[in-house]
Amino acid sequence: LFESVGFIGLGNMGYRMANNLLKAGYKLTVHDRNFNAMKTFSDMGVATKETAFEVGEASDVVITMLPSSSHVLDVYNGPNGLLQGRNFLRPRLLIDSSTIDPQTSRKISAVVSNCSLKEKKDLWENPVMLDAPVSGGVVAAEAGTLTFMVGGSEDAYLAAKPLFLSMGRNTIYCGGAGNGSVPHCLPSDMSDLLCLSPMNTKAAKICNNLALAVSMLGVSESLALGQSLGIAASTLTKIFNSSSARCWSSDSYNPVPGVMEQVPSSRNYDGGFASKLMAKDLGLASESAKEVGLKCPLTSQAQEIYTKLCKDGHETKDFTCVFRHYYSGKDE
Ligand code: NAD
């Protein structure tokens, strides 16, 4: 259904996701504000564009994978952004996979639904937006085994499913649709409910990362204590992984160098999920908790720890470097 795919944001995640789309045979056009990220793709013969708008013009569908809300707003609504002109030929579908706050997602969905397509083509009268944050990290992005949490119209979700499955193994449809993309078959009194979709997917992603931030601290703290008590981290990890402490932080993304291959801790905490992005996600969790009046003491404490990690100069290292810097106090 979608032959030409645009991809914007070729960082730790986007680079790998775009690569998997390429392997699956999609005609790719990419953009990143970082020249080196673009060069990697132009060296592979992939079309690169100087602006987000040009990517849109060349693509049936555009996927964005950007650090935070301000970057997503810039790429959609900024000068030379995807929605410049508000009346365009392409793209017909916009998918944002960045982890950002639900309010920004809703704002962008609303703007997209007020745009129009110059040519009314088969599927939709207006461009449609799907909200599709991912879980799995760089290892899953590389292997094409990400989990996509998707919100938006079901038509659009089904049409985009092959794309998701080129980059991931699981897609969880969270329902709902953005303002203008409510399928005609749905009664209009459902539209308010459906508009909550970006809230739901983003909330799911934010809650997932809160649990991850805390579980990573728990695993790091107990492995550090174990080491101090004379138990090798590899031995303790084996015990965790066949006991009640087993979790993704212990069995798939272990924070101790050398315990697992191919995770950031075994390559000087390079690549992966930057500490500053984890601090950002905990900020989103804190704000959401405040909004609903829920006490979340572990969120506050985790936020403090990851923020300190950033202040100490480790903001671009993978967040698992919390093991090295917070618990051992050692510098590189
Ligand atoms: P990253 O910082 O490695 O990559 C972001 C890319 O976006 C960079 O290449 C940057 O140059 C580019 N960019 C920023 N602003 C831009 C703009 N205005 N125009 C064009 N390009 C721009 O981040 P990442 O680790 O790939 O994460 C991306 C998103 O995915 C974040 O929201 C993050 O929270 C989420 N996420 C990350 C992971 C992970 O393990 N890294 C896992 C799940 C979700």
Q: What angle do CA 32, 26, 183 make, to 5 degrees?
A: 90
Q: Confirm whether 205 is a catalytic residue.
A: yes
Expressed in angstroms and rounded, the spacing between residue 118 Cα and the centre of ligand 1 is: 31
Output the CA–CA distances (angstroms, integers) from residue 321 to 180, 302, 332, in the order listed: 43, 14, 10
- Residue 151's φ and ψ, nearest 5 degrees, are -120, 145
Instruction: Please determine, for the modelled complex, whether the ipTM score is greater than 0.95.
Output: yes
The Cα 109–Cα 199 span in angstroms is 11
Expressed in angstroms and rounded, the spacing between residue 119 Cα and the centre of ligand 1 is: 32
Expressed in angstroms and rounded, the spacing between residue 317 Cα and the centre of ligand 1 is: 13
Residue to probe by mutation, ligand 1, list 65, 72, 77, 281, most atoms within 8 Å of CB: 65
Q: What is the pLDDT of residue 134?
A: 93
How many C-alpha atoms does 101 have within 13 Å on its Cβ side? 16
* Residues framing ligand 1 (Cβ under 6 A): 8-14, 31-34, 37, 65-67, 71, 74-75, 98-99, 134, 137-138, 272-274, 277
Residue to probe by mutation, ligand 1, list 10, 54, 201, 277, most atoms within 8 Å of CB: 277
Q: What is the pLDDT of residue 2?
A: 86
Give me the residues of the chain with pLDDT under 50, please.
Answer: 177-196, 331-332
pLDDT digits (tens, 9 = 90+) for 257-295: 999 999 999 999 999 999 999 999 999 999 989 989 999
Instruction: Point out the catalytic residue in the list 23, 39, 107, 205.
Output: 205
Q: What is the pLDDT of residue 184?
A: 28
Map out the domains of the chain with their CATH numbers. 4-195 (3.40.50.720), 205-327 (1.10.1040.10)
Expressed in angstroms and rounded, the spacing between residue 264 Cα and the centre of ligand 1 is: 16
Rg (CA), the chain: 21
Residue 70 neighbours by CB distance under 10 Å: 12
